[in-house]
Amino acid sequence: MTYIPAETRYDKMTYRRCGKSGLKLPVISLGLWHNFGNITPFGVQQSLLRTAFDNGITHFDLANNYGPPYGEAERNFGMHMLRDWKPHRDELIISTKAGYDMWKGPYGDFGSRKYLIASLDQSLKRMNVDYVDIFYHHRPDPETPIEETAGALEQILRSGKALYVGVSNYNAEQTAAVVKALGDLKTHLLIHQPSYSMFNRWIEKPMGDTGSLEDVLRREGVGCICFAPLQNGLLTTKYLNGIPADSRAAHDPRYLKPDAITQEKMDKVRALNEIAKKRGQELSQMALAWVLRDEVVTSALIGASRPSQIIENVKALDAAPFTAEELAQIDAILG
Ligand SMILES: NC(=O)c1ccc[n+]([C@@H]2O[C@H](COP(=O)([O-])OP(=O)(O)OC[C@H]3O[C@@H](n4cnc5c(N)ncnc54)[C@H](OP(=O)(O)O)[C@@H]3O)[C@@H](O)[C@H]2O)c1
């Protein structure tokens, strides 16, 4: 059936400016890393995307190797593009990435000009789009000179195949270096995509003279979209009484292994959940509000296996802002 988006889609979502750019992103964005490969029915994928957009999520995040198998999430998204999204292309921010292993041989991995440009061309074909809004270098490359990677990103911008560029998984020093290399080419780094959650606070930690990644992003006016803000689902109540059969740890444990769900973590989740209850929120909502508590974070990039999770998660900022006391209690639990 033809998709007609909800008239109310912009009524409740908050949009934050991405660093010092002209672009705004929804505070909750949807990633297609899981649940868009060949192990998820097409209809489930379709309802996830439609529910997201109907609730103000204008940003879908992909990468060349999301699947399984590699490329499949982009291929599936390309089908959704033809069926649902072509008429709404200008209301969407679509991103993809290259930087991890994608194809055999020396040209399908890391950060060379050869890899990034060829990979984006492949991604555009799979996704049935003429351009992406954001193209990321997915991880730092210890061997390719940063000037070459930055030059490839700038070339991609000039070619019109991406409107903005970003990096992911770069530490504070690497980020400062790529900002400088792009600056030398009169290009601005729009955004960084780091992991960040209550259980994973590395972006707050200072790194020598450079400061923390957050310091660099603030200083340079670079936006931040943090991935896995629910720590793959651990920061919800779903694992408190064991591993449910329909959870990621049970049905797709590639990145969330059952042995990562320790008693110690569950004790913390239980204590955090008590604070969430007092705030009148679900734990998932509190975990998202927490990563968004400082506006250096533009957006929290969630995954979802069912539409109800998206509906729950977009209400993350409905509760009152954190008090200093609540933040101190959370810090004490996290240790
Ligand atoms: N740049 C990078 O290197 C990188 C790396 C990883 C991810 N990412 C990006 O970040 C996105 C999100 O990553 P992620 O999926 O790990 O994020 P996440 O939001 O931490 O975890 C999402 C999972 O948590 C569960 N969940 C979500 N909402 C829930 C709720 N309200 N109640 C209970 N369970 C809930 C679902 O798993 P169940 O299956 O258990 O329901 C869902 O698939 C990816 O799609 C990708 O775009 C980027």
Q: Can you read off the two tokens belonging to residue 11?
A: 């009524």
User: Across the chain, what does the average pLDDT equal?
Assistant: 97
With cut-offs at 50, 70 and 90, classify the pLDDT of residue 252. Answer: confident
With cut-offs at 50, 70 and 90, classify the pLDDT of residue 251. Answer: confident
164 strand-pairing partners: 134
- Tell me, in angstroms, the distance from the centre of ligand 1 to residue 266's CA: 18
Q: Atom 22 (ligand 1): residue with closest C-alpha?
A: 303
pTM, two decimals, is 0.98
Alpha-carbon gap, residue 170 to 193, rounded angstroms: 8
For the CA of 237, the closest atom of ligand 1 is: 33
Alpha-carbon gap, residue 199 to 110, rounded angstroms: 27
All domains in the chain, ordered by first residue: 15-334 (3.20.20.100)
Q: Atom 26 (ligand 1): residue with closest C-alpha?
A: 233
Share of the chain above pLDDT 90, in %: 96
Q: Does pLDDT of 282 surpass 80?
A: yes
Q: What is the pLDDT of residue 56?
A: 98
The 3-state DSSP class for residue 304 equals: coil
For the CA of 244, the closest atom of ligand 1 is: 40
Q: For the beta carbon of residue 289, count every other beta carbon within 10 angstroms.
A: 23
For 55-171, where are the alpha helices, taking DSSP H only? 72-80, 113-127, 146-159
Q: Which whole-number Å values give the CA distances from 127 to 60, 73, 78, 166, in the listed order?
A: 12, 9, 4, 19
Q: Measured in Å, how far apart are the chain's first and last C-alpha atoms?
A: 50
Q: Does pLDDT of 46 surpass 80?
A: yes
Q: Atom 7 (ligand 1): residue with closest C-alpha?
A: 227
